[in-house]
Amino acid sequence: MSPDAPRPYVPADRAVPELTVKAIGLGILFGIVFGAANAYLGLRAGLTVSTSIPVAVMTVAMFRLLRRSGREGTILEANLSQTAGSASSSLASGVIFTLPALFMWGMPPDLLQMVLLALCGGVLGVLFMIPLREYLIVQEHGRLPYPEGTACAEVLKASQGGGTQAGHVFLGLGLGAAFKALTSWLKVVPDSLSLALPWPRKAEVSMDLSAALFGVGYILGPRVATIMVGGGLLSALVIIPYIAWWGAGRVDPLFPETVKTIATMSTAEIWNRYVRYIGAGAVATAGIITLVRSLPVMIASFRAGAARFGRSRGKDDAQPLRTELDLPYAFLGAGVIVITLVMALVPQVFSVIDGLPHQLAAALCVVVFAFFFVTVAARIVGLVGVTSNPTSGMTIAALLGTATVFLAIGWTDATGKAAALMVGCVVAIAASISGDMAQDLKTGYLLGATPRHQQLAQLAGVLTSATFVCLSVLLLAETFGFGGRDLPAPQATLMKLVIDGVIDRSLPWGLVGIGAGIALVAEVLRVPSLPFAVGVYLPLSTMTPIFLGGLLRWILTRDRDAAEAGARTDRGVLLGSGFVGGEGLLGVGLAGAAFVLGRRPDGLGHDWAGETGAWLLGAAAFALLVAWFTRRTRGPGPA
């Protein structure tokens, strides 16, 4: 035990209900809801948000409703519920960062394969965290803050005083879904605004009218939101106009475009054919920089994890306290062996790989990469949080390694690409789950939870949410498709570009090099390169509402005392989480309706493109949304 260990909220020698059916059941239910919503958000905007706090406050609210029947839950039950519920959002991150690329290649996976890949990655992520808990959560307490985990513990403690903020989440869910319905289904309000500037050439500013993206901006805060929109402005107002100016006199198409000249291309076409590769180079470089900078931490964490993986408790050890009980290492070892055998022996996991030797090789690659990046991710999120977990950078590194191996052995056809992506998918899910698990264990450490129960709850969350997350992705693919305007699937598109480029040797390296240079310049200027690169890679229309959300958080919390600023931050984060959930759930719901009806439910089907009143109507509707959000976030004072 660390000498500066905190006094847990529930003492170790006190036994209270914790791992109960209602706690796990509510966690699974809320996890399915937010997992589907995060899948939609990630496919649209290329990022996901942590859902631990919304699930925690919604669980507390449900426990209050059960009070009349004498079944009100304890704080440790609420913690178990958010542990189980938050697993789905991390699992969704790994799935949507990779598997949509298979749809873009014309090799769509079926539900069984997607679920098996998700389960293998999720279970490995939980298992590999078992030997790391004592080192990262206990011994490193005070050095690794784990921001979401600490905040969730404070929310749960505050809920014991009689107050609850669950109403903010439910209000956000309703309004987020309603606004999405008005813009993208009924279409009584335009879903985006754009304005072509007279100068410079082909410069354009745009904005998606999205409650979810606005909520994401408030959650991320002003600094990250400003850095991201800065990258978007660089693309929209500098890179695209410069390409248009440079290509004005060219009479031949510029690779990778093979038909149109730059002079005849629209702003959107220039972004798609050139800026996307520049952004990909920037994101890949920024992700690798993040990993390189973390090398000392990675090596130390990897050594500690490897040492603890092979160490068992001695016979002469004293009986551990309840708050020190992990799942036994025998369970860990057996679980890893079972998952490895499933990947090696079940053909549906790596469906494109023929032969036991190749399947076993792929399975071993997964285990090695997964253990390494689980260790890395669990440490990094202790410093920067789950939302800033560089899962994409770690996935790119795993894909580069796997694709290079496949290139060396001559496996360069479509099946080789698909196999490399599947390996990356399992690794991405494991890394994402481990980051979430580390935050949950931090919450439990501060509250006095039993680690073994939390590990079981996380496994329950993974096992139950995998099917629903993957089903949501399939429904969205059937209705909207991936790579288009509705669901651009930016992270999966990036992974596809990486694998295509390595195996086909077809990347426009000049454009990728420009993106790498942008990331390096950002580092020299001490600008966090990863969020800036994401801004370069994604359309400005996606970044603008995120920036406005972050700007509003700055306006509402500046020059306020700590108590009021904290209360406004908490209320806004819960409302923003509700926006994310409401918009995502409506998107998934529309996809499900389309699947049942056999057609896309387009509502009124009004097309606002080119109409002069679109700007005024859209701006007015979004302003009303922001005004309501501001009024609710200000509230009566400190909560």
Predicted pLDDT at 552? 96
pLDDT digits (tens, 9 = 90+) for 520-563: 999 999 998 878 988 888 889 988 998 999 999 999 999 899 88
Nearest to 282 by CA among 253, 239, 220, 246: 239
Q: How confident is the model over 62-89, as pLDDT tens digits?
A: 888 877 666 678 899 999 999 999 888 8
Q: Which of 306-315, 366-375, 508-517 has the lowest average pLDDT?
A: 306-315
pLDDT above 90: percentage of residues in the chain: 29
Least confident of 79-83, 346-350, 376-380, 522-526: 376-380
Q: How far is Cα 369 from Cα 367, in angstroms, rounded to an integer? A: 6
Give the side-chain half-sphere CA count within 13 A for 309: 17
CA angle in degrees (0–180, nearest 5) for 440-443-446: 150
pLDDT at 277: 84
Cis preceding linkage at 256, omega within 30: yes
pTM of the model: 0.78
Q: Note the pLDDT tens digit of each residue in 275-319.
A: 988 987 887 788 777 667 766 655 665 565 556 555 544 444 557
pLDDT category of residue 54 using cuts at 50, 70 and 90:
confident
Give the per-residue pLDDT at 610.
55
639: three-class secondary structure by DSSP: coil
Identify which of 309, 296, 454 has the alpha carbon closest to the alpha carbon of residue 376.
296
pLDDT of residue 76: 93
In angstroms, rounded to a whole number, what is the distance separating the alpha carbons of residues 120 and 496?
21
Residue with the larger pLDDT of the pair 84 and 390: 84
> What percentage of the chain exceeds 70 in pLDDT?
87
Tens-digit pLDDT profile for residues 573-586: 888 888 887 887 78
- Average pLDDT of every residue of the chain: 83
Per-residue pLDDT, 389: 58
Number of residues in the chain: 639
Q: With 90 as the cut, is the pLDDT of residue 380 above it?
A: no
pLDDT at residue 62, rounded to an integer: 85
Residue 565 pLDDT greater than 60, yes or no: yes
Residue indicated by tokens 């500066």: 4
Query: What is the DSSP code string of 223-284?
Result: HHHHHHHHHHHHIIIIIHHHHHHHTTT--S--TT--SS-GGG--HHHHIIIIIHHHHHHHHH
- Nearest-10 crossing angle of helices 613-634, 166-180: 170
Instruction: Tell me the average pLDDT across 476-505.
Output: 83
Spatial CA neighbour of 136 closest among 457, 451, 458:
451
Angle made by CA atoms 44, 47, 49, in degrees to the nearest 5: 115
Using one digit for the tens of pLDDT, what is the confidence trace for 235-264?
999 999 999 999 988 888 888 887 889 999
